[in-house]
Amino acid sequence: MARKYGLWAMVFAVSCGKAGGTLTDGGGTTTGAGGGGEGGQGGQGGGSPYLEDAGLPDGGQFIACPQVQPFDDSACLPEERRCEYGTDPRGSRCRPLAICAQGNWSVIDPGCVALPAVTCPATREEAQGKACAPFDAYCSYDGLACHCTDCSDGPNPTCAGMGQETWHCQTPHADGECPAAMPNLGVACLPEGKKCGYGCSVGRRCENRVWVNDTTTGGC
């Protein structure tokens, strides 16, 4: 166990503080997949492999998710850690997920279809509510996504019909202690215990200094 711990301590890194997205995709560029999306983009930076805190259950040393998506069946710590990767604007449902189980990573690739190419408006504010094409296209602005759709938001979405698509854009989280867009699972966080809701039924909770899934914080 000590040998495995030493190996992974060399490759794990922490992204302290807020973990908002960093990918931008505007200004008339042509794009398919990009940052943000439902749930948005989670940042992962470099730094020390440990986040020291005497209040942690392991006695003060914490191992963050690998910065780079691990290989399937490669060694991992700690058990049951979930690490999400990528910046697909559709959010968690289209981002690879690595789960540490019985000392090895199990990597789940959701296999989502490629997004259509689109020319994005210069800014998120310019895009919001404007007519768009093609249907189901996405643009990303600092991790916050705009979705080209004819469906309304909410717990019971309704759709106007093809040909009436407009940009539906995320707004930054109103709580300054929460990332602007929903971070990837496993990204380092502070303060401990913080809950941040994103959308109707999804959210994140800062637990043992990483963001974990939380379904109690959403609301429409």
DSSP state string for 55-119: TSTTSS--BPPBSSPPPTT-B-SSTT-EEE----TBGGGGS-EEEEETTEEEEE---PPPPPPEE
Residues in the chain: 220
Going by pLDDT thresholds of 50, 70 and 90, the confidence category of residue 56 is: low
Write down the H helix ranges in the chain: 2-11, 124-127
* Residues 72-131 pLDDT 10s: 999 998 899 999 999 999 999 999 999 999 999 999 999 999 999 999 999 999 999 999
Specify the range with the lowest mean pLDDT, choosing from 28-42, 82-96, 142-156, 158-172. Answer: 28-42
pLDDT for 216 equals: 78
Specify the range with the lowest mean pLDDT, choosing from 37-46, 88-97, 185-194. Answer: 37-46
Higher pLDDT, 41 or 65: 65
* Residues 160-179 pLDDT 10s: 666 789 999 999 999 999 99
The answer to whether the CB of 37 falls within 8 A of the CB of 90 is yes
Kindly report the pTM of this predicted structure. Answer: 0.70
Higher pLDDT, 125 or 9: 125
pLDDT beyond 90 at 55 = no
Indicate the residue type of 113.
V
The answer to whether the CB of 147 falls within 8 A of the CB of 138 is yes
pLDDT for 218 equals: 61
pLDDT for 94 equals: 96
Strand partners, 82: 99
